[in-house]
Structure 1
């Protein structure tokens, strides 16, 4: 992919969140608990748990922390049950935004998410208002390294069931159908290929370019979402200005 790197653009925004490492680990721990409750504590028999463990590892969550979260979830029969909800809406300048939450209190989550939308020049909409602008996909991001052959990597990924491999400035981005994500990721692991990121995500069909003023407003909205303990992930189609920093 020539020109502006979409992944690099998004990764820069995510980097601000990754700095809050403890909060990231807490949120992934919640996802691990949900996966265990849905399919058991044995990763070999629970594809969702395997995928969540991969996400935890790509976020540099320590192995012992992952194991403790799984063990705690498996041993706690009275664990809180979480609802998975996606709130749709618009940021400033018509940016499409999906806010994914895991919550034990829908009213609390809806209220806090709605407030974050409206406070920063956006508004929460009805279900379906922007989700049609995104595709749910598996995404695996691999850093370019000396000696790595693009054609070999593409053949390996496609043979395993991937949809596509795009080339950006510093990374390869492999996309899959959600149902094929685990198979593709495991094939890469078997061949010793490390990744920067591996998760099921929502990828926008098109991006909305924003100026610096809008970027500043929107980053404040993102920060408020990410500070919310119920919010797991935020997906959007904003294209921040090249080189923009808050």
Structure 2
């Protein structure tokens, strides 16, 4: 049996709660490490589209957090409820093995519950990374990001007045949720997006290309990509899904 270490960053450290990222693109994207950890868990709480697959592949008790996610449009409330559900599972199931919180992509990318759990000093928590939407975008758009890329949450980018380097790609995550405090934005999308569109049009040349991209979260999905010059960006934002990202292509070739 391995001896638990104080530094949970080492590869063989044991934990009470694992924050597991399945990656983007499908259940089969999970790593060997993630699979092995989930095989040892006594309880798995997940916010994914793979409830059936998780139940079929692992012996743990499984709880679909989509029930909590669907119960409110307030992200702060939802993530707090998820955190409390995982902590309660740790209390009730730890005699059966570790607990896992499983999400799409990387567990520390825009998952507030993961950060809240990491702050619990009396619980050993370990992060099990998964591929992020950035990795998926590089493949789906086939644009170079290895020489430089700028990544911001869309609302932060706008509110902080950040000026990008137009030579390199700009990625704005949560673009579809810009200027909304809800998990599922409603109302006039064009009006809500107008300040962001106008700002980007003031920063970039009119002919510089931009792409709205919704990365696939299942293996049977294709990425949804719409590319236009910046001058035409306002014509496509009305169809922006809440999970869509915006990529402004760089000038560097």
TM range (shorter): under 0.3
Bigger helix fraction: 1
Whichever structure has more strand as a proportion of its residues is 1
Normalized against structure 1, the TM-score is what? 0.25
Q: TM-score, normalised by structure 2?
A: 0.25
